[in-house]
């Protein structure tokens, strides 16, 4: 290679290095926003101050962008929780109850911590939370700290751990000290979306 050719290669490489975006909340949200639908298995452990052992449940989580989230609990007993737009519905023992999230702003803001993360909506998250990202694309942690006192009265922190554009765990620390840790496992095979 002659000198001119080397200069061209060096210029090309330096342009690529400068064009690479740093890993920020914005770039993570852009990656998460690419997922328009997903179905994962979950195992959730709830640690309550009144109990010596965690309460464990498992089932499936289904997400359809931008605002539908279903939590289908199979164990220990069947239950379906559906958040769709402004409506929160719970189906248990053949009975379904629904509420409007706009009637419960604190619950709506907590719900947005989950949907905002899944949909990659940084603006929605930033309305109610201070958003802190640590790590790199291969292993990251997104911490949501309530910026509204009414939300902080319910939730102290939401922590989402993941890799690439996938979520691995969601931890919710409630203001009363109770916490839940939900581990998610992407489905593979014919049932996967």
- Tell me the Cα Rg of the chain: 20
Residue 179: how many CA atoms within 13 Å on its side-chain side? Answer: 11
Candidates 35, 100, 40; CA nearest to 72 is 40
What the chain holds in terms of domains, given with CATH numbers, is: 22-186 (2.50.20.10)
Q: How far is CA 112 from CA 80, 122, 123, 135, 162, in A?
A: 19, 10, 11, 23, 18
Q: What is the pLDDT of residue 146?
A: 94
With a cut of 50, list the residues of the chain below it in pLDDT.
2-19, 192-193
DSSP state of 101: G
Question: Which residues lie below 8 Å from residue 7, measured CB to CB, with a gap of 6+?
Answer: none
Could you tell me which residues come within 8 angstroms of residue 11 by beta carbon, excluding any fewer than 6 positions away? none
pTM of the prediction? 0.82
Instruction: Quick: pLDDT tens for 97-131.
Output: 999 988 887 777 778 888 899 999 999 899 989 99
Q: What is the pLDDT of residue 90?
A: 92
């Amino acid at each position: 290679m002659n000198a001119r050719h080397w200069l061209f290669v060096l210029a090309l490489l330096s342009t690529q290095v400068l064009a690479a975006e740093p890993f920020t909340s914005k770039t993570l949200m852009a990656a998460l926003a690419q997922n328009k639908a997903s179905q994962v298995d979950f195992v959730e452990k709830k640690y309550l101050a009144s109990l010596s052992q965690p309460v464990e449940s498992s089932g499936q989580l289904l997400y359809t962008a931008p605002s539908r989230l279903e939590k289908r609990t199979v164990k220990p007993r069947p239950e379906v929780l559906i958040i769709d737009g402004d409506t929160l519905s719970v189906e248990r023992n053949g009975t379904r109850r629904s509420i409007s999230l706009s009637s419960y702003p604190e619950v709506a803001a907590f719900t947005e911590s989950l949907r905002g993360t899944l949909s990659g909506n940084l603006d929605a998250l930033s309305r109610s939370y201070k958003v802190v990202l640590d790590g790199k694309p291969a292993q990251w942690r997104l911490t949501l700290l309530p910026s509204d006192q009414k939300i902080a009265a319910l939730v102290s922190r939401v922590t989402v751990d993941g890799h690439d554009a996938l979520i691995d765990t969601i931890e919710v620390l409630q203001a009363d000290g109770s916490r839940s840790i939900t581990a998610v496992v992407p489905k593979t095979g014919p049932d996967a979306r």
